[in-house]
């Protein structure tokens, strides 16, 4: 098998040494490391196809690997096998005539956004990890980001995909058109499938003309629940901000210690902040929107609003917001849940999370894309015993997920299910629904070789 793989990718793109296997054995999920038995780095679609044919005939697991920033363990080689690093797929083509980008999966999200920007175009999805995650990983996870509430998530930009199926066959899933009512939607089936149905080798993305102005404000709240309440009220006043992010006090304090060059004077009684951005092409309209938002905020107990006047100030605030995840991770081992509810239910969700923490003895730090009801719940291990971490915390997580579903929300808004959330899927879906998903997986991958042990619960 190794000799055959070597023939496909060439000796210099196949790795068996321990260091490389460990390097490709983790993502950003907790402190897990599941090294693949061998790492290969194909250079084109044909090579991916040959690898899949070999893996299928030997019935060996293959795990597609992107930027390894995943937070649900999707890129972990939990059964060993072939770690399929896509890093050599890094070309970008911008089709200015059609406002489209033709991108290979290993292109770093920020690099693609900047390439579009240089041509006066805008690719809105902006995960906080945009400096290190890849477009392929974003498509596989249906990634979101701060701008999703106004502009949508990755799925809203994917028009067409080149995919290598587990059998090794190569297909295009749709057409490079803005609308398409032709047959079942294979493109959107592939988006968010977490590397379990096919290996994405090329992506056709829709682009928008870029906006020229924005206003960014940071609002301190004396009550975290009220910050959550304010989120829905802003939309009810007829404003759709381009970003609306929530950060609990600990998230900000830890991040300010973690990042250089950002300082904020925060009163002791402040419990949370909202970071609010409006964007568009006409400054007068933006000022009117900002004033309307301030009118809404008057109903709540807030401290003085900080307006970012310069590009540097804006960048500093965004740098701080994007670093929250890493700052939390630098403090302690943690589990990150990616709860999402209709936004009006956010205050109920936050209160429920805190109640679960009290009941099961854990501290949580919450932050996230509140504008689309997406709250990241970081459960901190700190000095909790290993026993409580493995027995009590999962009970608390189950209760939090049950609450999200009872509020008509679901388990993950953008990080996916992967390895760590799969055994909670019974909360969101009944057996009929899960069996349908399993049947889809079986049709694409009857030998269960592509990223096995992910998404679907173990007992299905
Ligand atoms: C600090 C931090 C902040 C984050 N912020 C956000 C955020 O704001 N929004 C958000 O949505 N996510 C966020 N994430 C999560 C993560 O960055 C995203 O899930 C991202 O989409 C993962 O991309 P990746 O390239 O790192 O993929 P990986 O972690 O390498 O892989 C993720 C999944 O994609 C599959 N995959 C990768 N490439 C392919 C391919 N070519 N074909 C098929 N399957 C493939 C893998 O098998 C795996 O299942 C954050 C993560 C961190 C660490």
Q: Taking the chain (460 residues) in consecutive chunks of 10 residues, what is each chunk's mean pLDDT?
A: 97 98 97 97 98 98 98 98 98 98 98 98 97 98 96 98 98 98 98 98 97 95 97 96 96 93 91 97 96 97 96 94 92 93 97 97 96 96 93 97 98 98 98 98 98 97
Per-residue pLDDT at 263: 86
Contact 251, 204 (CB under 8 A): no
pTM higher than 0.95? yes
> Which parts of 298-338 fold into alpha helices (H)?
311-322, 324-331
* 452 in contact with ligand 1, CB cutoff 6 A: no
Q: Give the angle 169-170-171 at the CA atoms, nearest 5°.
A: 120
Coil vs helix vs strand at 228: helix
pLDDT of res. 315: 94
- Order the strands of the 363-368 sheet from edge to edge: 306-307, 213-221, 272-280, 243-248, 363-368, 374-380, 334-340
Distance (Å) from CA 132 to ligand 1 centroid: 9
Give residue 211's pLDDT.
85
Please report which helix (H) or strand (E) contains residue 208, including its range. strand 208-209
Verify whether ligand 1 is closer than 6 Å to residue 125 (CB atom): no
* Structure-token match 């309209």, residue found: 285
Q: Are 404 and 421 in contact, with CB atoms under 8 Å apart?
A: no
Q: How far is the CA of 309 from the centre of ligand 1 (A)?
A: 32
Select from 71, 156, 162, 163 the residue to mutate for testing ligand 1; criterion: most ligand atoms less than 8 Å from CB.
71
When computed from its CA atoms, the radius of gyration of the chain, rounded to whole angstroms, is 22
Nearest CA to ligand 1 atom 50: 129
- How many A from CA of 56 to the centre of ligand 1? 25
**Helices 249-258/324-331 angle, 10° precision:** 90
List the one residue out of 360, 457, 430, 342 whose CA is nearest residue 399: 360
Residue 136 Cβ inside 6 Å of ligand 1? The answer reads yes
State residue 85's pLDDT score.
98
Contact status, residue 418 vs residue 374, Cβ threshold 8 Å? no
Can you give the pLDDT at residue 331?
87
Q: Which atom of ligand 1 is nearest to the CA of 323?
A: 1
- Closest Cα to atom 11, ligand 1: which residue? 143
> Among all chains, which residue has been given the structure tokens 């079986």?
442
């Amino acid at each position: 098998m190794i000799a055959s793989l070597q023939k496909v990718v060439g000796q210099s793109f196949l790795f068996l040494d321990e260091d490389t296997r460990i390097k490709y054995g983790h993502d950003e999920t907790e402190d897990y490391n599941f090294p693949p038995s061998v790492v290969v780095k194909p250079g084109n679609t044909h090579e991916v196809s040959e690898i899949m044919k070999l893996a299928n005939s030997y019935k060996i697991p293959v795990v597609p690997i992107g930027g390894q920033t995943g937070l649900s363990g999707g890129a972990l080689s939990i059964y060993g096998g072939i770690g399929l690093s896509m890093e050599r797929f890094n070309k970008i083509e911008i089709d200015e005539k059609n406002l489209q980008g033709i991108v290979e999966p290993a292109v770093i999200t920020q690099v693609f956004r900047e390439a579009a920007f240089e041509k006066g175009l805008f690719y809105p999805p902006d995960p906080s990890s945009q400096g290190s995650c890849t477009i392929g990983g974003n498509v596989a996870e249906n990634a979101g980001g701060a701008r999703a509430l106004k502009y949508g998530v990755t799925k809203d930009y994917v028009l067409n995909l080149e995919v290598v199926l587990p059998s090794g066959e190569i297909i295009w899933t749709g057409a490079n058109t803005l609308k398409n009512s032709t047959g079942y939607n294979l493109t959107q089936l592939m988006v968010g499938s977490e590397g379990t149905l096919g290996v994405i080798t090329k992506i056709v993305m829709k682009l928008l003309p870029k906006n020229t102005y924005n206003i960014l404000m940071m609002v301190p709240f004396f009550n975290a629940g009220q910050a959550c309440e304010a989120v829905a009220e802003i939309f009810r006043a007829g404003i759709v901000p381009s970003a609306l992010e929530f950060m609990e006090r600990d998230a900000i304090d830890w991040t300010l210690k973690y990042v250089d060059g950002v300082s904020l004077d925060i009163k002791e009684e402040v419990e949370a902040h909202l970071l609010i951005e409006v964007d568009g092409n006409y400054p007068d309209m933006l000022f009117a929107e900002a004033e309307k938002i301030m009118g809404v905020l008057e109903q709540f107990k807030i401290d003085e609003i900080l307006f970012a006047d310069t590009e540097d100030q804006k960048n500093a605030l965004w740098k701080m917001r994007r670093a929250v995840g890493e700052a939390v991770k630098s403090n302690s081992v943690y589990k990150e849940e990616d709860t999402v509810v209709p936004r009006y239910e956010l205050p109920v969700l936050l209160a429920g999370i805190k109640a679960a923490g009290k009941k099961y003895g854990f501290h949580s730090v919450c932050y996230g894309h509140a504008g689309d009801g997406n709250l990241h719940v970081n459960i901190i291990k700190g000095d909790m015993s290993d026993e409580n971490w493995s027995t009590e915390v999962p009970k608390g997580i189950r209760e939090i997920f049950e609450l999200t579903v009872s509020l008509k929300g679901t388990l993950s808004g953008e990080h996916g299910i992967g390895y760590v959330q799969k055994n909670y899927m019974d909360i969101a879906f009944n057996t009929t629904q899960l069996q349908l998903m399993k049947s889809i997986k079986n049709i694409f991958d009857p030998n269960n070789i592509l990223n096995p042990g992910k998404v679907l619960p173990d007992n299905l």
